[in-house]
Amino acid sequence: MNKRIFTIMIIVGCTAVLASAQTADVPSGVQQEEISFTTEPFDIPSGLPPNDVLWKQAVEAYAQANYQEAIDVYKSIYNRGFESASLYYNIGNCAFKMLQYAEAVLWFERAKLLEPENSDILYNLELANRFILDKIEQLPEFFLQTWVRSVRNLFSANQWAWCTLLLFAGALSLLLLFFFGRSRSIRRWAFYLSLFVALLALGAFSFGWSHKREMEQREFAIVFAPVASVKSAPDRQGKDLFIIHEGTKVRIMERVGAYGRIELADGRQGWIEIELAERI
């Protein structure tokens, strides 16, 4: 009897080990059958007509779980030259639902570029990255750089441009008060305040310029090849340094022919065929 119990315990233990091995690749907190994330699509963005037929068609397709149809319709809007965090976010949601994680990361990253502080975008991007094979730890950043970036990301490039104009207008008004003020103390304070507001305007301008430059250069990309060899030189004869996988985010530093020199978040560099990655 004891031998039977012992045998049953061994079988149960082996079954538990096999079950845990099968689910080892599933990120913690994520169910296999039903992946839970922010699925509610964003509303129609400004710039499109309120009753845009294509947008309504895409939303209806998404609601009916026709995710490929929804992607096709959303991309037809994108191909018309329309750019919006809402559009990119919705495409990312559809790709995630279809288990196309590299595609989801690409569109969530594009949405993040336009709205870097949007909590829904950041959450879904973080969740999609859990399914990417390469887990690359980012190099530690100087705290001032982190702080400056967080301040810059409070507003879009256009919003920083408006802030710049308003601050410069305020600085000019204070200068007029300095020149035409009746009281000497008022003129003195107007002069110092005009300098301070002018400095704020320069700061707003630099934030807006940095934001716009990042959007225009689009130096980051997502790898779409299942496996990509990173080489020591921009040709096929170059030595294989390491490999990266689909969905990995890279920074394209320069391009030579069909190859691009990339940098990973951990500082490693090398060359890959540029066609294996799509720019964010």
Q: Return phi, psi of residue 102, to 5°.
A: -65, -40
Q: Above 70 in pLDDT, residue 35?
A: no
Helix (H/G/I), strand (E/B), else coil: 254: strand
Query: Domain ranges in the chain?
Result: 24-129, 147-217, 220-279
Q: Which residue has the higher pLDDT, 46 or 54?
A: 54
pTM of the model: 0.74
Q: Is 248:132 a contact under the CB 8 Å cutoff?
A: yes
Q: What is the pLDDT of residue 38?
A: 53
* Contact between residue 210 and residue 202 where contact means Cβ atoms under 8 Å apart: no
CB-based contact 187:74 (threshold 8 Å) = no
**pLDDT interval class at 1 (50, 70, 90):** very low
Total Cβ atoms within 10 A of residue 133: 14
- Greatest extent of the chain over all pairs of C-alpha atoms, in Å: 106
Q: Which residues are CB-contacts of 65 (< 8 A; sequence separation ≥ 6)?
A: 97
What is the token pair recorded at 211?
């934001």
Computed over every residue of the chain, the mean pLDDT equals: 84
Pick the CATH number of 24-129 from 1.25.40.10, 3.40.50.2000, 3.50.50.60, 1.10.1760.20: 1.25.40.10
Instruction: Give the pLDDT band of residue 266 (cuts 50, 70, 90).
Output: very high
Q: Which tokens belong to 24?
A: 């080892």
Residues above pLDDT 90, as percent of the chain? 56
Whether 31 shows a pLDDT value over 80: the answer reads no
Q: How far apart are CA 261 and CA 43, in angstroms?
A: 38
Q: How far apart are CA 125 and CA 106, in angstroms?
A: 9
Q: Taking each helix axis as running N to C, give the angle between helix 157-180 and helix 184-217, from 0 to 180 degrees, rounded to the nearest 10.
A: 160
The predicted pLDDT at position 42 comes to 73
% the chain with pLDDT above 70: 85
- List, for residues 236-256, the tens digit of each pLDDT value: 889 999 999 999 999 999 999
Query: What's the average model confidence in pLDDT over 35-53?
Result: 68
Which residues, at least 6 apart from 236, have a Cβ–Cβ distance to it below 8 Å? none
pLDDT of res. 163: 94
DSSP 3-state of 48? coil
Would you say how long the chain is, in residues?
A: 280
Rounded Cα distance between 57 and 197, Å, is 48
Pick the CATH number of 220-279 from 3.40.50.300, 2.30.300.10, 2.30.30.40, 3.30.465.10: 2.30.30.40
